[in-house]
Structure 1
Amino acid sequence: MTRRARLLLPGTPLHLIQRGNNRSVCFADNDDCLAYLQLLEEVSRACSVDVHAYVLMTNHMHLLVTPRVDPQAVSAMMKRIGQVYVQRFNRRYRRTGTLFEGRFRSSTHRTPTYLTALPGWLR
């Protein structure tokens, strides 16, 4: 079964969600959160993706992002973050295998009400 193509447009905000595999822990402590956020800052800048808000829970995360030019940059950003962060996490906790549950989920929300409420909810 093929994956449905994502509807991605430059300049359109996206709400991204990524869960730990089987809802397992993917951010065990503050060091994990800091490592993820540093990586997010570095990779989002390199991919020309603006990060407006985020929340890291123990077993999942939410991001509100906007691709500046290339809509595929969001997928490239998440792929790179996943590769680097999962290697770090697996090495640190002496584990192997996948950390996240499939690919990230994304949704577009153009209504001003949703976009103004979301960052407050993400805090």
Structure 2
Amino acid sequence: MIVPGLPHHIVQRGHNRDVVFIEDRDYEYYLDNLAEWKAFFGLQVYSYCLMTNHVHLIVGANDCPGDIGRLMKRLAGRQTRFVNKMEGRTGSLWESRYKISPIETDAYLLQCSRYVELNPVKARMVSRAEDYRWSSYRARIGLEPCEWLDTSPVFEALGKSVKAQITNYAGFVNKAKEAKSEEAFIRGAVERNQLTGSHAFIDEVERRTGVRVEYRSRGRPPSTRE
């Protein structure tokens, strides 16, 4: 399900969970294409994390639901051709279908971004999110530029200045150990291709799309207050 105007958590894994990104050039090529095609389709990218054998993206949908699918097709196709050429291989690089979950913006967008950007820490690849080069976190907290990364009004509401927004978001990310049930919910929602949100959000999406949503285990959304 893709809902116009909402951010969506997307996960795409390598074929048979094989490694997709090996050298720096592989990561750089994927991000260059992400920047190019998200601009082409008029989509927003709020967060990303490229792991060795899968990717996490948070992409804001435009008024054409099919554009997210077209974005993912371009990314997968170009990366496959690039890696196959560089590595002298053939065949599919990715699983046949990505996972996707529309996000209740006010309640869960920051939580989903935290979940995405902490993947390398949870995988014990780095001890801190800012030490990982291939996620949006370094750009989000001002450690390096990324002109094409979009900023949600939810992030801007964290403070009256950019400095305050960065400080509050960094503090929010560093308190992730307090949100284990939230982490499990976000992971389960995207794995099932279900909505990440409250019952009221699910009701609203059902009304807007006319599609019945069966999975309803989540109750009141969490607070982002520190």
Q: State TM-score, norm by structure 1.
A: 0.89
Report 1 or 2 for greater relative contact order, CA contacts < 8 Å, sequence distance ≥ 6. 1
Q: CA deviation at 1:79?
A: 0.7
Which residue of the other structure, out of 53, 61, 64, is the alignment partner of 2:55?
A: 61
Q: 1:120: Cα distance to partner?
A: 2.1
Same amino acid, percent of matched pairs: 35
User: Would you tell me which structure has more helix in proportion to its own residues?
Assistant: 2
Superposition CA RMSD, Å: 1.2
Structure 1 alignment gaps of length 5 or more? 1-6
Are 1:91 and 2:51 counterparts? no
Match of 1:109 in 2: 103
Q: Which has the larger radius of gyration?
A: 2
8 Å Cα contact 2:12-2:54 kept in structure 1? yes
- SS for the counterpart of 1:35 is helix
2:40 alignment counterpart = 46
Point out where structure 2 has 5 or more consecutive residues left out of the alignment. 118-226
Q: Deviations over 1:23-44 (max 9, x none)?
A: 1001112211110000000011
Using the alignment, how far apart are the partners of 2:39 and 2:112 within structure 1? Answer: 22
Deviates more, 1:105-114 or 1:34-43: 105-114
Question: Contact 1:15 / 1:64 at 8 angstroms: preserved in 2?
Answer: yes
Work out which of the residue numbers 82, 98, 115 in structure 2 matches 1:121: 115
Alpha-carbon distance between aligned partners in 2 of 1:117 and 1:40, rounded to the nearest angstrom: 22
Q: How many pairs align?
A: 117
Runs of 4+ in 1 over 6 A off after TM superposition: none
- What's the TM-score, normalizing by structure 2? 0.50
Output one character per residue of 1:56-107: Cα deviation in whole Å (capped at 9) or x when no partner: 0000010000112211100011111111111001100111000001111101
Higher normalized strand content (fraction of residues): 1
Q: Which AA in structure 1 matches 2:31?
A: L
